[in-house]
């Protein structure tokens, strides 16, 4: 069986990605577009190397945690200065963070849903269409288009 990214809970990847998309919309609402420097570069390489050593040591000693893994990925991103390499590392950071959220949801026995009502993981019903809708809403919000009360995008006719 090919892994589908659901980490043992059907629909969990779509749920977490929908949560991420909603958070991104909230960030844009709060802060708008932010064109700021990356602040990364090779002067952070020693920190990245140490984090990689820490992951190896923790793994060998049986005490590896999500914090170790995410810290290593973040510090590797900090050590990059080329946009392509930095993008690759940031995608890895995001992937580890998503998997960590999935682990929290899976081991908690319930998954959070809108309104704070928990339900059993097997009952998760986030469809690919719902995840795509959330992504489209995030893109619309980032582009400055908002839905009116009828679900139509303001300024666009049907």
pLDDT, tens digit (0-9, with 9 covering 90-100), for 121-149: 333 344 455 555 655 665 565 555 444 44
Dihedral (CA of 52, 56, 12, 127) sign: positive
Q: What average pLDDT does the segment 141-158 reach?
A: 46
How do the domains of the chain map onto residue ranges?
Answer: 1-30+90-144, 39-80
> Which three-class secondary structure state does DSSP give residue 111?
strand
pLDDT, tens digit (0-9, with 9 covering 90-100), for 70-106: 999 999 999 999 999 999 999 999 999 999 999 998 8
Contacts of 11 (CB under 8 A, 6+ apart): 124, 125, 126, 127
């Amino acid at each position: 069986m090919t892994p589908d990214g659901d980490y043992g809970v059907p629909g969990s990847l779509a749920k977490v990605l929908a949560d991420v998309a909603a958070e991104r919309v909230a960030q844009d609402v709060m802060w708008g577009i932010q064109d700021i420097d990356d602040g990364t570069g090779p002067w952070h390489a020693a920190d990245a190397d140490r984090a990689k050593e820490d992951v190896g040591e923790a793994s060998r000693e049986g005490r590896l945690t999500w914090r170790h893994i995410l810290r290593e990925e973040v510090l590797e991103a900090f050590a990059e200065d080329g946009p392509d390499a930095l993008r690759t590392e940031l995608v890895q950071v995001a992937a580890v963070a998503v998997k960590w959220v999935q682990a929290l949801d899976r081991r908690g026995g319930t998954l959070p849903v809108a309104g704070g009502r928990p339900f059993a993981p097997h009952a998760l019903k986030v469809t690919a269409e719902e995840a795509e809708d959330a992504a489209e809403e995030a893109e619309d919000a980032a582009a400055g288009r908002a839905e009116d009360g009828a679900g139509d995008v303001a300024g666009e006719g049907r």
